[in-house]
Amino acid sequence: MRRSYLGEFEEVVLLTVAVLAEGAYGVAITDELERQTGRSVSISAVHAALHRLEEKGMLKSHLGEATAERGGRRKRLFTVTVLGSRTLHDIRAVRKQLWDSIAPNGLPAVSL
Amino acid sequence: MKNPPRWAVRLLELFCAPHLREEILGDLHERYGRDVLRAGVAGANRRYLLNVLKFIKPFALKRRTADDSTPSFLHPVMIRNYLKTSFRNLTKYKVSALINLFGLSLGVTACLVIYLITNYELSFDTFHPDRERIYRLVGIEKFNPRADSHPAGFVPNAVPAAVREEVAGLGTVAAFHNIRSTVLIPNGSEKPERFEESDIRSEEIIVADPQYFDIFQYQWLAGNPKTALNEPFQLVLSERKARKYFGNLPLVQILGKQVIYWDSVQVSVSGIVKEWGKPTDLTFTDFISIATVRSSRMKQSINLDQWDDIWSSSQAFVKLPEGAKPEQFNAAFQQFSRKHFQKEFKFTPGLQPLADLHFDGDYVDNYSRKAHLPTLYGMMGVAVFILLIAAINFVNLSTAQSVQRAKEVGVRKVLGSSRKSLVFQFLSETALLTLLAVSVALMLVNPILSASQSLTPTGLTFNLFSVETGLFLLGLTVCTALLAGFYPSLVLSSYLPALTLKGQSTLLGGQKGYLRKALIVFQFTVSLIFIIGTLIVERQLNYIRNKDLGFTTDAIIEVHSGRAGKTELLAEKIKQLSGVERVAKQWFPPMGMSYMMTKMKYYGKKEIELDVSAKVGDEHFIPLYNIRLLAGRNFQKSDSLRELVINSTFAKRLGFRKPADALNKMVEFDGTKYPIVGVVADFHEQSFHSKIDPAFIGILPQARNLGVKLQGKSAEELKATLARIEEQWKAVHPDKKFTYDFLDERIANLYEKEQKTSRLVTIATAVAILISCMGLFGLATFTAEQRTKEISIRKVLGASVAGIVALLSRDFLKLVFIALLLAAPIAWWAMTEWLKDFAYKVDIEWWVFALAGLLAIGIALVTISFQSIRAALLDPVKSLRSE
């Protein structure tokens, strides 16, 4: 089975695109990431990741509407491709399998 | 809302790949909006910049190679497109394209011709190796303590050799003497082959020091440059001259052949050099060794040891050692002068740079043709102005038309054309037109040069394929294209597509056209200056032609019998001929290039000494030239000077109020006293550039030429008489050529420079007016078209045709009037400067300006009336129907 490797950041970005569904573009993704993970993310890092994911074929994009708050410039809106979706599912399956393989007391207890 | 700092945006645009720019800038803009609310403008600016800098990452820097990006504006495809659209546009707007092409062609042709002339003149003697170290030995001469000092382009015969000995560190000194001679080539026992003096120009034969060839480098085709001029009776010829004398013999065989100068000075060819073939004043072709002078009868005419007199044929050049400055010899020259010139005659040597030889008219000589630098600069100015006028036409017509093309610009912009590529498209239209104009000019330049040979310097040829000309043409094309196309292309490309496509283009076109008006005013100012110049130059020349000279010039010829001799016999014979009214022995006619100044003393109440011009002639001189006697009588026939006739200026300068008072007074000349027997009215001796000097008329030994007054007016009669005179000449001098000049032609030659200026100004005026008028015509066509509807409505409301024509003309006439106000003072100043050269001149009168203004207005009216009358006569129904 062909496997695509994703970096941790790429994975998170890809997931965020999925979360945002229709409105996934640079700033929205950055904001959502900051909100969900609580870490500070730079726009350029997100753009770089989006660019890379699109090159890998996990994202596709089209140009959206221009708005005044963007100085009359258009957004690039991203959606997850089938390949992207499958990769996410794969990762999730591997994780799940791994979680399931851990003995009940295999991990030190933490309080959430 | 605040916008992010412009320079930070620029920075990102600079490094970021074009296909990513929009989304990144958009995101950053959006983020900026949030940051302004959170951190204020300063903080937001800082963060914006930080964000921009963070984008310096490989993914953002990398350009996409995809082919759907817009091609660079200089991509071959785009250039092909520019040319194609340019061609289409030029053929679409035929009238304005033709007007522009015609104007630009005229401008470029004028520029090219003037460039060729000035470049030719300025290139004289610029090809010599070490030319900046070559100087001519010149000096300041002073004939006696009371005379004025004059610059002299020549030196006393003995000076070069003495300078070489006595002035240390001067380097190489080479003297030479210009001579004139008939050339004989001995031909065994047969009669020698003969080349007449008159066929050999005075700039060809010199008697030269061997050092001449150390200073000026020639390519030697035969003979040894080291020894070729060292011995007496040696001769170096140029290749062309050797061919002329000896035909197609191999050059080596020509060495050793004999050539005879001055009837008996036989020299043998010791070297042959190649001509430089470049513009030079040193056009010598026969170099006789200077050692020949002392060993032959040449010493009777050329006294190499002469200190107390000076001849224009005596020349010397100096090549300074490396690093030497001409000023450092001033002291040595002063000392030299004090040592050698202790008597009446003073001479102080000086150095004239070789570069000045062609231009400095103060230092005259027998061979160099002087070019007038101010005239050259004036011509360059004229060329620039004519080109400017043509470029202005282009600017005006294309900005006026811009309205029509606004839609095109809009569509192009919508389809993704950048401003840069639009500018390039319009510039390429100009460039195409300019290139066409240049090719037209190239076709015209040779016919023009050959047609205007009297205006162009001799020896000027046009070589299209020289590097210099090529560079000039390239520069000219680029300059003209930019000058004409830059502003229109900026204006056209600036239109906003949203506005032009909505049809609001008329609003855009009406930037009031201030620039256009200013440019028209400029064009007409230049044209008016030219018109005023032409009028005044023409008036002055007319004045010169028609002012009473104080003597008659009609049907008078000078026969140059001085050199040939037997003047008496010849005079007797010519006097007998029918068709000859009178014959006078003379030196020179009353007016001409040559004159003689001398000193005269008068012992009245106090001693008066004057510089006086001597008019040498016999008792027939005054009646022949019809010089008017104011008092007394003509002097009586005698062989030597007994009595004098003076002019009225002389009488006045001696202090006599009435001419008659001067009669029978004695003046001293050359140590002897002579009575004044008559006073004549003033007559002009020199051109109108100089004042009339005191002068006397009397018989002196120099009176060996003849002045002949012919009868009859018609050309046939004169021709027949001349033939009879020539017959008599042949009878007296069988082997000498008969040479004569018509006096009026000789006098006309004095004003050659002015005639040339006049023709030049006239041509420039014609060209300037023509181009300006074409521009005006184009603009009138355009405004008439643009205002068709307005005119129709006016007509419907009852306006008359005349009223409409006036309406359309008024705007233009206003501009011409402003131009007149600007041109008048400039032209007045320029013409005052020009007239300063004349001692006798016309006044600049106000009506000249009025006339020029009327002319300009008339020309402008005629130009625009065609269009405005057509517009006014248009049937209003037709133009109002279509909406």
Q: Do A44 and B33 touch (CB under 8 A)?
A: no
**Measured between CB atoms, which of B33, B57, B60 is closest to A69?**
B33
Give A74's contacts in chain B (Cβ within 8 Å). 22-23, 26
Give A66's contacts in chain B (Cβ within 8 Å). 26
Residue B9, SS3?
helix
Given a contact cutoff of 8 angstroms between Cβ atoms, the answer to whether B682 and B649 are in contact is: yes
Q: Do B60 and A44 touch (CB under 8 A)?
A: yes
Q: Do B33 and A43 touch (CB under 8 A)?
A: no
B276: Cβ–Cβ under 8 A, 6 or more apart, which residues? B127, B218
Distance from CA of A58 to the nearest CA of B (A): 17
Give A48's contacts in chain B (Cβ within 8 Å). 57, 59-60
Residue A57, SS3?
coil
Q: What are A71's two structure tokens?
A: 């100085």
Q: Do A25 and B60 touch (CB under 8 A)?
A: no
Closest of B632, B636, B616, B496 to residue B558, by C-alpha = B616
* Distance (Å) of CA B344 to CA B138, B143, B147, B307, B621: 19, 6, 10, 11, 33
pLDDT tens-digit series, residues A74-101: 899 999 999 999 999 999 999 999 999 9
Tell me the average pLDDT across B31-50: 90
**Measured between CB atoms, which of A43, A70, A71 is closest to B51?**
A43
pLDDT tens-digit series, residues A38-58: 888 899 999 999 999 998 889
Choose between B78 and B241: higher pLDDT. B241
Q: Which of B300, B330, B356 is the last residue of a domain?
A: B356
Q: State the SS3 of B463-530.
A: CCCCHHHHHHHHHHHHHHHHHHHHHHHHHHHCCCHHHHHCCCHHHHHCCCCHHHHHHHHHHHHHHHHH
Q: Do A44 and B25 touch (CB under 8 A)?
A: no
Tell me the average pLDDT across B273-282: 90
pLDDT tens-digit series, residues B618-638: 888 898 888 888 888 888 888
Side chain identity at B771, as an amino acid letter? I
Residue B709 has pLDDT above 60, yes or no: yes
State the Cα–Cα distance between residues B393 and B782, nearest whole angstrom: 13
**Measured between CB atoms, which of A42, A63, A70 is closest to B29?**
A70
Q: Which of B356, B387, B421 is the last residue of a domain?
A: B356
Given a contact cutoff of 8 angstroms between Cβ atoms, the answer to whether B699 and B619 are in contact is: yes
- Residue B605 is predicted with a pLDDT of 78
Architecture in CATH for domain A8-96: Orthogonal Bundle (1.10)
Tell me the average pLDDT across B275-292: 91
Give A75's contacts in chain B (Cβ within 8 Å). 23, 26-27
Q: For testing the chain A interface, which of B11, B22, B38 should be mutated: the one with the most A CBs within 10 Å?
A: B22
Q: Domain check: are B138 and B196 in the same one?
A: yes
Given a contact cutoff of 8 angstroms between Cβ atoms, the answer to whether B369 and B457 are in contact is: yes
Closest of B131, B352, B316, B305 to residue B209, by C-alpha = B316
Q: Domain check: are B513 and B601 in the same one?
A: no
Residue B247, SS3?
coil
A27 interfacial to chain B (CB closer than 8 Å): yes
Q: What are B763's two structure tokens?
A: 């041509």
State the Cα–Cα distance between residues B479 and B471, nearest whole angstrom: 12
* Distance (Å) of CA B724 to CA B563, B566, B633, B719, B740: 21, 18, 33, 9, 13
pLDDT tens-digit series, residues B560-601: 876 667 788 888 888 888 888 888 888 888 887 666 777 788
CB atoms within 10 A of CB B30: 22
CB atoms within 10 A of CB B337: 18
Q: Do B55 and A44 touch (CB under 8 A)?
A: yes
Asked whether residue B73 is domain-assigned, the answer is no
Q: Domain check: are B645 and B721 in the same one?
A: yes
Domain housing B217? 131-356
Choose between B260 and B200: higher pLDDT. B260
Q: Do B26 and A45 touch (CB under 8 A)?
A: no
A93 interfacial to chain B (CB closer than 8 Å): no
Given a contact cutoff of 8 angstroms between Cβ atoms, the answer to whether B645 and B625 are in contact is: no
> Residue B66: pLDDT band by 50, 70, 90 thresholds?
low
CB atoms within 10 A of CB B763: 18
Long-range contact pairs involving B469-473 (C-beta distance under 8 Å, separation at least 24): B469/B116, B472/B112, B472/B115, B472/B119, B473/B112, B473/B438, B473/B442
- Residue B541 is predicted with a pLDDT of 85
- Residue B655 is predicted with a pLDDT of 85
Q: Domain check: are B283 and B266 in the same one?
A: yes
State the Cα–Cα distance between residues B396 and B389, nearest whole angstrom: 10
Q: Which of B311, B329, B356 is the last residue of a domain?
A: B356
Give A77's contacts in chain B (Cβ within 8 Å). none
Residue in chain B nearest A44 by alpha carbon:
B55
Q: What are B438's two structure tokens?
A: 């240049």
Please give the sequence-ordered ranges of beta strands (E in DSSP) within B232-361, or none if there are none: 234-238, 258-261, 265-274, 286-289, 314-319, 346-353
Give A45's contacts in chain B (Cβ within 8 Å). 54
Q: Domain check: are B594 and B705 in the same one?
A: yes
- Residue B882 is predicted with a pLDDT of 62
Tell me the pairing of strands B672-680 and A73-80: unpaired
Given a contact cutoff of 8 angstroms between Cβ atoms, the answer to whether A76 and B92 are in contact is: no
A63 interfacial to chain B (CB closer than 8 Å): yes
Distance from CA of A48 to the nearest CA of B (A): 6
Residue B826 has pLDDT above 80, yes or no: yes
Q: What are B221's two structure tokens?
A: 């085709």
pLDDT tens-digit series, residues B504-553: 545 444 556 788 888 889 988 988 998 898 889 888 888 888 888 888 88
Distance from CA of A94 to the nearest CA of B (A): 30
**Measured between CB atoms, which of A42, A51, A71 is closest to B25?**
A71
Asked whether residue B79 is domain-assigned, the answer is no
**C-alpha dihedral over B195, B199, B204, B205, to 10 degrees?**
40
Distance from CA of A25 to the nearest CA of B (A): 8
Residue B728 has pLDDT above 70, yes or no: yes
Residue in chain A nearest B58 by alpha carbon:
A48
State the Cα–Cα distance between residues B162 and B40, nearest whole angstrom: 92
Q: Do B22 and A43 touch (CB under 8 A)?
A: no
Asked whether residue B231 is domain-assigned, the answer is yes
State the Cα–Cα distance between residues B637 and A82, nearest whole angstrom: 132
**Average per-residue pLDDT in chain B?**
85
Q: Domain check: are B740 and B766 in the same one?
A: no
Instruction: State the distance between the two ends of chain A, measured CA to CA, in whole angstroms.
Output: 36
- Residue B509 is predicted with a pLDDT of 47
Distance from CA of A17 to the nearest CA of B (A): 16
Closest of B855, B792, B773 to residue B820, by C-alpha = B855
> Residue A19: pLDDT band by 50, 70, 90 thresholds?
very high
pLDDT tens-digit series, residues B361-375: 888 888 888 888 888
Q: Domain check: are B507 and B579 in the same one?
A: no
Given a contact cutoff of 8 angstroms between Cβ atoms, the answer to whether B171 and B321 are in contact is: yes
Asked whether residue B66 is domain-assigned, the answer is no
Q: Domain check: are B702 and B764 in the same one?
A: no
Q: Domain check: are B298 and B377 in the same one?
A: no
* Distance (Å) of CA A62 to CA A16, A50, B395, B626, B690: 17, 13, 45, 106, 90
Give B29's contacts in chain A (Cβ within 8 Å). 69-71, 73
Range A20-36 burial, b when 16+ CB lie within 10 A, else e: beeebbbbbbbbbbeee
State the Cα–Cα distance between residues A106 and A111, nearest whole angstrom: 15
Radius of gyration over every alpha carbon of chain B, rounded to an integer in angstroms: 38
State the Cα–Cα distance between residues B782 and B784, nearest whole angstrom: 5
> Residue B859: pLDDT band by 50, 70, 90 thresholds?
confident
> Residue A1: pLDDT band by 50, 70, 90 thresholds?
very low
Residue B290 has pLDDT above 90, yes or no: yes
Tell me the pairing of strands B666-669 and B580-586: unpaired
Q: Domain check: are B306 and B348 in the same one?
A: yes
State the Cα–Cα distance between residues B322 and B337, nearest whole angstrom: 25
Asked whether residue B76 is domain-assigned, the answer is no
State the Cα–Cα distance between residues B287 and B691, nearest whole angstrom: 41
Q: State the SS3 of B396-425.
A: HHHHHHHHHHHHHHHHHHHCCCCHHHHHHH
pLDDT tens-digit series, residues B172-211: 999 999 988 889 999 888 888 888 876 776 678 999 999 9
A17: Cβ–Cβ under 8 A, 6 or more apart, which residues? A24, A29, A50, A59, A78, A79, A80
State the Cα–Cα distance between residues B561 and B705, nearest whole angstrom: 5
Q: Do A63 and B22 touch (CB under 8 A)?
A: yes
Q: Do A43 and B57 touch (CB under 8 A)?
A: no
A52 interfacial to chain B (CB closer than 8 Å): yes
Range B338-368 burial, b when 16+ CB lie within 10 A, else e: eebbeeebbbbbbbbebbebbbbeebebbbb
Residue A112 has pLDDT above 70, yes or no: no
CB atoms within 10 A of CB B152: 24
Q: What are B200's two structure tokens?
A: 């050999």
Cα B404–chain centre separation: 44
Q: What are B575's two structure tokens?
A: 């006097």
Tell me the pairing of strands B346-353 and B607-616: unpaired
B427: Cβ–Cβ under 8 A, 6 or more apart, which residues? B481, B482, B485, B486, B489
- Residue A60 is predicted with a pLDDT of 92
**Measured between CB atoms, which of B29, B33, B60 is closest to A73?**
B29
State the Cα–Cα distance between residues B140 and A90, nearest whole angstrom: 108
- Residue B508 is predicted with a pLDDT of 45
Q: Domain check: are B587 and B498 in the same one?
A: no
A92 interfacial to chain B (CB closer than 8 Å): no
Side chain identity at B773, as an amino acid letter? C
Q: Do A26 and B55 touch (CB under 8 A)?
A: no
Q: Domain check: are B764 and B742 in the same one?
A: no
Choose between B595 and B423: higher pLDDT. B423
Q: What are phi and psi of B735, to 5 degrees?
A: -105, 15
State the Cα–Cα distance between residues B234 and B272, nearest whole angstrom: 11
- Residue B273 is predicted with a pLDDT of 94
Cβ neighbourhood burial of B503 (10 Å; 0-12, 13-18, 19+): exposed
B189: Cβ–Cβ under 8 A, 6 or more apart, which residues? none
Residue B145 has pLDDT above 70, yes or no: no
- Residue B67 is predicted with a pLDDT of 45
Tell me the pairing of strands B234-238 and B265-274: parallel
> Residue B285: pLDDT band by 50, 70, 90 thresholds?
very high
Domain residue spans of chain A:
8-96
- Residue B437 is predicted with a pLDDT of 92
Closest of B20, B29, B30, B31 to residue B55, by C-alpha = B20
